[in-house]
Amino acid sequence: MFSKVARLTVRHALMLGVMAIALLAFTGCASLPDYVDRPVSTAIKPEVATSLGDLVKSRRQGVRPGYSGFALIDSADSAYSSRLALTEQAEKTLDIQYYAIHSDPSTRELLRAVRQAAARGVRVRILLDDFHSTGENAQIMRMAFVPGVEMRMFNPLPGRRGSGTLRALGSLNDFMRIQHRMHNKVYIADNAWGITGGRNLGDAYFGHAQESNFIDMDVLAAGPIVQDMSASFDRYWNDKLAYPVPSLITADELKVLRDAARQAEAPPVDRKVVADLPAAMDLKNEPLIWASAALLVDKPAKLVPEENEQVTEKEQDTVIDGLLSWMQQARQDVLIVSPYFVPGPKMMEFLAAMRARGVRIRILTNSLASNDAPLAHVGYARYRQDLIKMGVELHEMRALQREMARTVFGSSGGGSKASLHAKMIVIDGRLISIGSMNLDLRSQLQNSEVALLIRSRALSSQASKLIEQTLDEGAWKLKLNEGDGDLVWQAPPGADFDDARTEPDASRMLRLILWLLGPLAPDEML
């Protein structure tokens, strides 16, 4: 006899199958274009003179050869102002690569500056993962038709862009391909200054979402490492998975987008957001820490080799594999920040080996209430007790209220709730990684990722202090009850929130999802 949960699972699977068949019948056999004109282009040479390049040279005087300059972008305001500064001061090129670009007030204002850059002769290339470019966010694709702007979509799904869910269902016959997403995030001006980290482009990342904002971290880079970032961008831009927008949108679809944009009137909140946006960062006086660094980046096709391509084991290493290798060299302490933490059996073995050598491991991730992806929490939750028994110090961030959010990584902005989105690793207080990757199987096996690995005690110390402030003021430490072995969420001393014995601040519905799906959902899909 099936259990009730099993019967529900089978019923839902059958319903999804029927929906998919009906959708395929309705939409027909939508497909991607067979022939695509994809002109090759690359970053400008480092020796090309630009004001941003000259600024780097003047600031590198007396610095060791090969070192680059870095600054943590730890607040919503600095996240916006740094990107605006690169946009306004670019003279030759502007390369923008993101997993998601949202059509909302702050991003529309930033893209206004991008259009102005194109108008003054800057070559603009925008590379966007295709998955979220539906509904209102499809408006971003109009940038492809701005003079001076080229735009490509990475690994696109066929079909119209009215609904992301319907497009995904319509591509179920190609399920493995649509699971491969470009999660990279870089913003580069004149091959001289660049930004990478956890943030996409949108109100929630710039502190202006109405309900919930992301607590995130980027890093501003200047100098030789930016040339590696540009080389990475070029490789993705010229890959066969990158489709120029004009090859994906018909003239009729473009007209619909333009008509919708003309009819939409900016509500008062849009004007308020624009008024609250910060001015461009002063790059001349922004403090920089000079250090050696390396860029870790996945191949565009990741674990999917080209036809007839022989891929060696070494070439299959991913960003996550590289970071795990560096973590294995830790002697004292590893501090991990990952909003979605689904380690899987192999990563658990890595962590156990580190603990066996006496390495202290601290992990900060989302609580169920602060997690914007509850299904990811399902995969993480099944490892919590084993992690604690292993000796890992496990912390979950509170879904912070507005007045408290400003104490964590700067400011989360106007929403009443905050969700952790930063992705960082600090090793022995001397090596720091900041990038787009989560420590989960999706980042390891399916998404492409990018990360900067910087050897700097000063930068590691800055980041560690910010993280530890969160641990001390805005996160629970998980323990096991001595009596029954159940989880206990322990509030920091003096906190204005209490200990808990169930998922704190989470609704009954969220806890029910966790209970129902916990035993069923595979790690690699979360």
CA distances for 477 relative to 163, 171, 241, 289, 393, angstroms = 40, 41, 43, 32, 7
Structure tokens, 186: 């870089």
The rounded distance, in Å, linking the Cα atoms of 96 and 388 is: 40
Which of 102, 299, 417, 423 is an active site residue?
Answer: 423
Catalytic residue among 208, 377, 417, 421: 421
Closest among 429, 167, 411, 462 to 287, alpha carbons compared: 462
Q: Which two tokens stand for residue 444?
A: 């390891």
- Burial class for 276, CB neighbours closer than 10 Å (0-12, 13-18, 19+): middle
125: three-class secondary structure by DSSP? strand
Whether the CB-CB separation of 359 and 334 falls below 8 Å is answered with yes
The Cα angle at residue 407 between residues 402 and 410, in degrees rounded to 5? 100
Residue among 185, 299, 395, 417 flagged as catalytic: 185
Q: CA 151, CA 128: separation in Å to the nearest integer? A: 8
CA distances from 405 to 46, 78, 400, 517 (A): 40, 16, 6, 30
**Cα 393 to Cα 333, 349, 441, 471, distances in angstroms:** 11, 16, 21, 11
Candidates 77, 129, 190, 216; catalytic one: 190
Distance CA 227, CA 192 (A): 7
Catalytic residue among 276, 321, 333, 428: 428
For strands 360-366 and 393-397, give the pairing. Answer: parallel
Q: How many angstroms separate the CA atoms of 340 and 453, rounded?
A: 20
Name the catalytic one among 92, 102, 132, 183. Answer: 183
Catalytic annotation present for 185: yes
Q: Give the other-Cβ count within 10 Å of 24's Cβ.
A: 16
Asked whether 318 and 99 are in contact (CB, 8 A), the reply is: no
* C-alpha radius of gyration, the chain, whole number: 23
Transcribe 145-170 into DSSP letters.
GSTTEEEEEESPPPS-SS-HHHHHHH
Main-chain dihedrals φ then ψ at residue 420, nearest 5 degrees: -65, 130
Whether 377 is catalytic is: no
Show the tokens assigned to 519: 């035993």
**Residues with active-site annotation:** 183, 185, 190, 421, 423, 428
